[in-house]
Structure 1
Amino acid sequence: MNSVPFVALDRCHETLKADLSKIFDATVASNELVLGKACREFELRFADFCETEFAIGCGNGLDALTLALRAAGIGENDEVIVPANSFIATALAVSSVGAKPVFVDCLEGTYSIDIGGIESNITPKTRAIIVVHLYGIPADMDPIVALANKHGLFVLEDAAQAHGATYKGKKIGSLGHAAAFSFYPTKNLGALGDGGAVTTDDPVLAERIRKLCNYGSTVKYQHELQGVNSRLDSLQANVLSYKLSLLPDWNERRRQIAAKYHESLGECSDYLDLPQVTKAGEAVWHLFPVLLKGIARQSVIDALAELQVSTGIHYPYTIDKTEAYDSPVSVPVAEKVAEGGISLPMDPYLTDGEIDYVCSALKSVLEQLVGD
């Protein structure tokens, strides 16, 4: 067996090479390289895919989060509740608008934000909740939305890893007041560079986001807001429109791989916990994390590397304990995940044989380390 990559982006691009070349040539020939027809068409297609009224393209996933918060009027002296176990962008967006991120723990199994932690951290300053659909596993949205409605809070979905996931038959990205997506190249729906989008059903919010991401303007030289430059360029929009047609099949392949992992590694429950899907949710498995029990993570990573299996860590620190924030809070479940979580290879272009090999290699490593 040759080495098993963590992601197989090279295989994807080699398979799509001819079509991507045509897209590049057509985009250059159009002379519309920023905004324009390509971006409008992608926004319409992505809104339809997410079952929302609006999608607004922007520069990246962090910008998508930030723009949504700014458009909602969240800023100085406000608090926003966020999960401690996420990529730091979730908190950086809050800080960038002048608000304070309030970190709470996650649930066992799904690793989604703990509603008990949300409720206990609501104060008079709380203005919003960011719900991260981590790893492509939908969070249990109904009780969170109900709690938010009770307290008049803005609900922002961080859907950077959840393109196409569903909750009770509804698409992730359509369940809060707004949702932020990233199109970083390794995402389930990835561009050939950075890109992002915000989805919403609120026309006022959508119009404000559209202005904010283009210097505060929708008409040239008429600047109504103090905006920024965060625009999805035409090449990325055309690539994303093309890849969007392939996404359902790619997501289905990810689900097949996750099913193989669950089936094969279920017998290892003494040594690791497998991720669980929220009731009534359908995951799209951007990542497949396993949580080690009583075994040193680095020993497993090193042993798998010797067997030519690449792995990842998502994420090695809870956000509150990074140097950027240095505001430790008690989040024991999130800390356990940060200390013992390993992400296994996950990509729609991986073969069944490669996934079988990963499972066999991991079981062999666990047996060896436990025996030692």
Structure 2
Amino acid sequence: MQVPFFNYPAIYAEDGDGYLDTIRGVLERGAFIMQKELADFEANLAAYLGCKHAIGVADGTAALIMALRASGIGSGDEVIVSSHTFIATAAAVHHVGAVPVIADCLPDSMIDPDSVRRMITPQTSAIMPTQLNGRTCDMTALSAIADEHDLLMVEDSCQALGARYDGTPAGLFGKVGSYSFYPAKTLGCFGDGGAVVTDDDEAAAFIRQLRDHGRGEGGKVTMFGHNGRLDNVQAAILDRKLARYDRAIGRRRAIASLYNERLKDVAELTLPPAPDADNVRFDIFQNYEIQAERRDDLRQFLAQNGVGTICQWGGWMLHQFDDLALRADAPYAEQMSKRYMMLPLHHLLTDDEINYVADKVIEFHR
């Protein structure tokens, strides 16, 4: 059996005729930028999340940058991020003139609140937790730290649209949150895309102006902005997918449950918490990230048996980019970098495919 890590053609084939009809409707009207499809998607996304404003932007990195700017983060500020996240998280902090500071992660891949506390200085202005792999961080502990030290919370929820912590959706714990719609995301378009969400009217107006070259009422430019708009074709695709998004999440959670049941007795593995591990988090399982004592040998064995795996971001943690000279506290992340990998997980996988992957993982360890 061949089980690629991610099956891009299958994502299109799932609803190929529907996608073509959607795209054709946009193209035939010549409605390419900031038209009805974008407005409809923004309204439906805001309703899905239960927030006042959802603003479509060009990509997840643009969303991070605009969220930071709308939160007032800039020159002279330090922002604490996890070592286990994509470089875009730290890069967004850098691009608004602030300094990213690197905290450690926990065995579930989330940022370590104790490490966050250790990294606070008088220059610290915000915590930017990454809601990684579709799971939320310990927002109770992080919110308590933020309150104690008068810090802002600016979430990187690019992998966690629909995840919840104690009933609150990822992305809505601070003033402004952000998402990515990269094709491999749980809600992915056929190119780049992102969104910024907020309940703050002033922040929403600022972001809408920022994404469109700083143009305000009547097209008058009142500040330097970006060309950071989500185009209509991608917005239309996303709106079509959003209508059945909960079914896709349900399937991802079922796959994660099957993996956990099959692999729970393999002593050499550290598995992510199961979907029913606690009653606080609702995990959407963007990824199924494990830790393996013989990671490289396991990946080679799986590849020889037709199973694709990856190490997120090439296997690098942020603190390991020596040329960036980032201040860091990441001893667990350092060790985890030698062990972590991801098994295939997307909503179109069959139980037979998941069982085949699990069979091969078990066979390797036997």
TM-score by length of 2: 0.96
Q: Distance in 2 between matches of 1:219 and 1:312?
A: 47
Matches within 5 A, 1:1-372: 1=1, 3-108=2-107, 110-268=108-266, 270-276=267-273, 279=278, 280-293=280-293, 295=294, 297-315=295-313, 316-327=315-326, 329-367=328-366
Secondary structure, aligned partner of 1:6: coil
Contact 1:43–1:56, Cα closer than 8 Å, also in 2: yes
Q: Distance in 1 between matches of 2:346 and 2:95?
A: 32
| Shift of residue 46, structure 1, vs aligned partner | 0.7
Secondary structure, aligned partner of 2:264: helix
User: What code does the residue aligned with 2:269 have?
Assistant: L
| Shift of residue 343, structure 1, vs aligned partner | 0.2
Please give the per-residue CA displacement for 1:44-63, whole angstroms capped at 9, x wherever unaligned. 11111112111111110011
| Shift of residue 246, structure 1, vs aligned partner | 1.5
Secondary structure, aligned partner of 1:127: strand
Contact 1:42–1:240, Cα closer than 8 Å, also in 2: yes
Secondary structure, aligned partner of 2:217: coil
Unaligned segments of structure 1, at least 5 residues: 368-372
Secondary structure, aligned partner of 2:129: strand
| Shift of residue 233, structure 1, vs aligned partner | 0.3
Secondary structure, aligned partner of 2:154: strand
| Shift of residue 41, structure 1, vs aligned partner | 1.1
Please give the per-residue CA displacement for 1:194-250, whole angstroms capped at 9, x wherever unaligned. 000011111111111111111112335311111111000000010000000121000
| Shift of residue 256, structure 1, vs aligned partner | 0.4
Q: Distance in 2 between matches of 1:23 and 1:353?
A: 32
Paired positions, count: 362
Contact 1:310–1:345, Cα closer than 8 Å, also in 2: yes
Query: In structure 2, do the counterparts of structure 1 residues 324 and 38 end up closer, same or farther at CA, with 3 Å as the change threshold?
Result: farther
User: What code does the residue aligned with 2:134 have?
Assistant: G
Contact 2:135–2:160, Cα closer than 8 Å, also in 1: yes
Query: What's the Cα RMSD here?
Result: 1.4
Query: In structure 2, do the counterparts of structure 1 residues 250 and 305 end up closer, same or farther at CA, with 3 Å as the change threshold?
Result: same
Please give the per-residue CA displacement for 1:317-339, whole angstroms capped at 9, x wherever unaligned. 11121155243634122122221
User: What code does the residue aligned with 1:256 have?
Assistant: A
Contact 1:51–1:174, Cα closer than 8 Å, also in 2: no
Deviates more, 1:238-247 or 1:315-324: 315-324
| Shift of residue 9, structure 1, vs aligned partner | 2.5
Identity %, equivalent residues: 35
Query: In structure 2, do the counterparts of structure 1 residues 218 and 36 end up closer, same or farther at CA, with 3 Å as the change threshold?
Result: farther
Contact 1:103–1:329, Cα closer than 8 Å, also in 2: yes
Unaligned segments of structure 2, at least 5 residues: none
Contact 1:317–1:339, Cα closer than 8 Å, also in 2: no
